[in-house]
Amino acid sequence: MLTRRKLLVLAGTAAVLTGLGLPAQAQAPDSPAAAFVQRTGEELIRALSQSPSPEARSQQLLQVIDRTVDVDGLARFCLGIYWRRATPQQQQEYIAAFHQSLAHSITGRMGEYEGVRFAVGRSAPEGPDTAVQTTILRQNNPPLQVVWLVSTGSGTPKIIDVQAEGTSMRLTERSDYTSFLQQHGGNVQALIDALKRQAVQQG
């Protein structure tokens, strides 16, 4: 279920997660959402630089993700209309499988982005949310433009989407899930099982 578009988004996500906290240039955040992205990056880089082992780095990274990303909301969005068609047990099982798949996708790419640098750019309203622009600078690669979509609807800032070079993670995931479910007669359990298998393969 890892399409080319999804790999691009995951690459951008991992690049930001492992590169945040190593600013390419000093720039004061221009909004609370931008400041939130900056603080998140500082937490991530501390976890990545101070953890004694790859396992500890992965665990601390996931703790930051759990605290700063609306994983449950993202999971429900990606399932779309099929969320209401799932049983309560399937909903719980799906969210757990989604979380595990996302975690493996991000932590599995950490080593590819050592030495990545970034710059937080402008932020702008996007509906009720705020889009924060970042530029990722990678050795021997062109700059990567990544936008974080931050929601404050719950009273606490949460990342609800990552857009790498114009490709939205949540829209790409939702499109892939919808296509999969249409091919499997709307069977949510089949999607759950596929996500579990994917997580095992990535692990």
Query: What's the pLDDT band for 180 if we cut at 50, 70, 90?
Result: very high
- Global confidence as pTM: 0.79
CA distance 188 to 94: 8
Domain ranges of the chain: 4-202
Section 116-128 average pLDDT: 84
Token pair belonging to 70: 């609306």
pLDDT tens digits for range 17-65: 444 444 444 456 778 999 898 888 777 767 666 667 777 777 777 788 8
Strand partners, 145: 135
Asked if residue 100 lies in contact with residue 193, where contact means CB atoms within 8 angstroms, the answer is: no
Closest CA to 131 of 142, 143, 144, 145: 145
Amino acid at site 136: I
pLDDT at 95: 94
Tell the CATH superfamily of the 4-202 domain.
Tgt2/MlaC (3.10.450.710)
Pick the more confident residue, 81 or 137: 81
Binned at pLDDT 50, 70 and 90, residue 169 comes out as confident
Handedness of CA 125, 127, 128, 130 (dihedral sign): negative
